[in-house]
A = this chain, B = another copy of it.
Amino acid sequence: MESVITKKERDCIISLHDNFSLPVRLFNIAEMLNIKAPTAHELVNRLISKRILQKNNGVISLTNYGDRIYGDIMTAHRTMEIIFTESGVNSDEACSEIEKIDYLMDKKSIEKLLVNIGSPEKCPHGKPVKP
């Protein structure tokens, strides 16, 4: 059941969740990720076959499983963001560096890091650590 995803797949999951309240269609994803429609089509199909995304009448959304993956990535991201900024790394810098690794990090280890820094509710940007 382990989900091995790529950086592009990660970006797709995050922007699908974050950048829209309205229904998201393929061309929106292509736009958000700055790729052409056929490339987005491939990417989305890969994520659908991994049961992370689903499509209904052209509207693409996260499955429950995908939503859990999103949460895990964000928790890892924000936990690391707190650790980085507390060490003096600029928060934007921290954010862009952590994007490279958040989707690869172990959930259990992140949980321990989070407890160790006092289980804060929010990251430096004011967003919830556990979305």
Contacts and interface: CB of A to CB of B under 8 A. Distances in A.
Interface of A: 83-84, 86-89, 93-94, 97, 100-101, 104-106, 108-109, 112-113, 115-116
Given A87-B113, A113-B84, A115-B87, A104 B106 contact: no
A113 B93 CA distance: 13
A123 B116 CA distance: 19
Nearest to A109: B89
Nearest to A97: B106
Tallying the copies of this chain within the complex gives 2
B116 A88 contact: yes
A26 to B, nearest CB: 29
Contacts of A86: 116
A105 B30 CA distance: 28
Contacts of A101: 100-101, 104-105
Contact of A105 (B87, B88, B97, B108): B97
B109 A100 contact: no
Contact of A89 (B88, B93, B94, B112): B112
A46 to B, nearest CB: 19
